[in-house]
Copies of this chain bind each other. A is one copy, B any other.
Amino acid sequence: MPRPSVSDARLYLCTDGRRDRGDLADFLDAALAGGVDIVQLREKGLEAREELALLEVFRDACDRHGRLLAVNDRADIAYAARPDVLHLGQDDLPVRVARDLLGDDILIGRSTHSPAEASAAAAEPGVDYFCCGPVWPTPTKPGRHAPGPGLLEHAAALETDRPWFGIGGIDLANLDEVISYGVRRVVVVRAITEADDPKAAAAEFRRRLTEAARAD
């Protein structure tokens, strides 16, 4: 499989395994059909075998739609599951360790929560994309300081070719405001995972982000 590119991606979905609902494959099909470019399994407290089993469902869905699969945090899970992307937070393994372990055939992303971290991620060797946020406080990351629109404007002004995503509390009600800060790519959780119609929600995100990027 050729190394996938993240530069065309606009919409990045993080979701748990939906074991309470039991509709993971159908949900992923809907979100990916709607326009999600990257899907990450993000569920704290999973045992490795549980995570690997869920990732097989994610892998099948991403393959059906030709989209990218991301693993969160654990480079050893990525080593076993061979996703397209490994996403690392500031408290996760150093990028150089993950890159050394996984080689060049995987995309590595970074979370950033301040202008200094965003600038560092834009320059750090081995990083393929980065995320900036949370834009607004989010229940997904309780207690985390929300750096707000200033971080997005900082990222938009960076001279970098690396794709970057706004993240944290973004939904269809505030998307236009987010776009106004210079964001052209977003990571969402609840705006799609809790949508009545995940496919329609994803399609609307994709449409507005693509339109904004075309107008640049």
Binding site for B on A (CB under 8 A): 47-50, 52, 73-77, 79-80, 89-94, 97-98, 101
> Closest B-chain residue to A75, C-beta based?
B76
Beta-carbon nearest neighbor of A88 in chain B: B48
Given pairs A52-B93, A76-B93, 6 additional interface contacts (CB within 8 A): A48-B91, A48-B92, A49-B91, A49-B92, A76-B76, A101-B101
Instruction: Write the chain B residue with the least CB distance to A101.
Output: B79
> What are 29 A-B interface contacts by the 8 Å CB criterion?
A47-B91, A47-B92, A48-B73, A48-B91, A48-B92, A48-B93, A49-B90, A49-B91, A49-B92, A49-B93, A50-B91, A52-B93, A74-B74, A74-B76, A75-B76, A75-B79, A76-B76, A76-B77, A76-B79, A76-B93, A76-B97, A76-B98, A76-B101, A77-B93, A79-B97, A80-B93, A80-B94, A80-B97, A101-B101
